[in-house]
Amino acid sequence: MSELGLNTVSFAGRAAASTQFKATYAEGMGLVEETAAYLDGPGRSAAKVLPRMASVLYAAESMRLTTRLMQMASWLLLQRAVNNGEMSRDQVLSEKSKVRLDDFNVDRQAPGWNDLPEAFRDLVERSLRLQNRIALLDREIYRPADTPVVPDNENSVQAQLDLLRTAFNLN
């Protein structure tokens, strides 16, 4: 491996235009629909009987969940537009700057977390896993060309494993 990691293989660019992306896209959009159906149906009923602390947490986490999902859906739609030739990479870079793929973490130790409906917590966990995969793809696809792949050898193997997991949907 060269000093700057130039001999590493980037699977992200290939994954972004592959059937793997189509699967990630379908998963993301499916999760948006599933979450909307849950929040408008069973989630609404479940929220009405939660203890006070859990009820407040449910309201806050449902807002974070929907925000997280909308950010991911925006990224997926932008990437699909690039893949389909509907937008240039430069156009997407401009629009992508409005998309946040981080800062929506969950405090599983918060009072009331364990009182939240299991189906809701499952949606939150699945959204976080998908967010992490999309954020990794985003960093790899849109990293400036002159940026080293990995700054040190200690993490280079892990970074490549993470890319393989993302490319083959092993998360």
Q: How far is CA 124 from the centre of its chain?
A: 11
Higher pLDDT, 94 or 146: 94
Q: What is the DSSP letter of 171?
A: -
User: pTM for the full model?
Assistant: 0.74
Residue 19 has a CB neighbour count (10 Å cut-off) of 8
Average pLDDT in the 11-24 region? 68
Instruction: Please state which CATH class domain 11-145 belongs to.
Output: mainly alpha
pLDDT, residue 136, reads 87
What's the first-to-final CA gap in the chain, in angstroms? 26
pLDDT band at residue 130 under the 50/70/90 scheme: very high
Amino acid at 66: T
Q: What are phi and psi of 76, to 5 degrees?
A: -65, -40
Mean pLDDT taken over the chain? 82
Residues 125-143: what's their mean pLDDT?
89
